[in-house]
Amino acid sequence: MATSQQHNPDPSSVAHPLGDPLGEILHLLKLTGTFYCQAHLTAPWGFDIPRLEGVLAFLVVTEGRGWLDLSGRAPFMVEKGDLVLLTCGAEHRLRSAPDAPTEELSALPVRKITQTYETLEYGGGGAETRAMYGIVRFDHAAGQRIMELLPDVLKIDTWSAHSGAWLQSTLQFIAREARELRPGGETVMTRLADVVVIEAIRTWINTAPEANRGWLQAVRDERIGRAIVAMHRQPARDWSVEDLARTAGRSRSAFSARFTGLVGQAPMQYLTEWRMQLARTRLLETSQPLSAIAIELGYQSEPAFSRAFKRVFKVSPGRMRGQGDGARG
The DSSP result for 60-77, as a single string, is: EEEESEEEEEETTS--EE
214-328 in CATH: which number? Answer: 1.10.10.60
Say if pTM beats, i.e. exceeds, 0.75. no
Give the pLDDT confidence score for residue 164 in this predicted structure. 56
Which residue, 81, 51, 38, 27, is CA-closest to 152? Answer: 51
Instruction: Count Cα atoms within 13 angstroms, Cβ side, for 208.
Output: 16
Query: Torsions phi, psi of 31, nearest 5?
Result: -100, 145
CA distances from 257 to 88, 135, 226, 241, 262 (A): 31, 38, 16, 11, 9
| Separation between Cα atoms, residue 252 and residue 249, nearest integer Å | 9
DSSP 296-327: HTT-SSHHHHHHHHHHHHSS-HHHHHHHHHHH
Q: Domain coordinates of the chain in residue numbers?
A: 11-210, 214-328
List pLDDT tens digits, range 203-226. 788 888 888 888 989 998 989 999
Give the pLDDT confidence score for residue 204 in this predicted structure. 83
- The helix-helix angle for 252-263 and 224-233 (nearest 10°) equals 80
Give the pLDDT confidence score for residue 10 in this predicted structure. 40
Residue ranges for the chain with pLDDT beneath 50: 1-18, 326-329
| Separation between Cα atoms, residue 13 and residue 160, nearest integer Å | 34
Fold of 11-210: Jelly Rolls (2.60.120)
List pLDDT tens digits, range 118-132. 889 999 999 999 998
Question: CB within 8 A of 134, min separation 6: which ones?
Answer: 33, 35, 36, 37, 57, 58, 190, 193, 197
Query: Torsions phi, psi of 103, nearest 5?
Result: -125, 165
Query: What is the C-alpha R_g of the chain?
Result: 22
Is residue 112 within 8 A of residue 36, CB to CB? The reply is: no
Which residue, 218, 224, 215, is CA-closest to 277? Answer: 215
Is residue 47 within 8 A of residue 39, CB to CB? The reply is: no
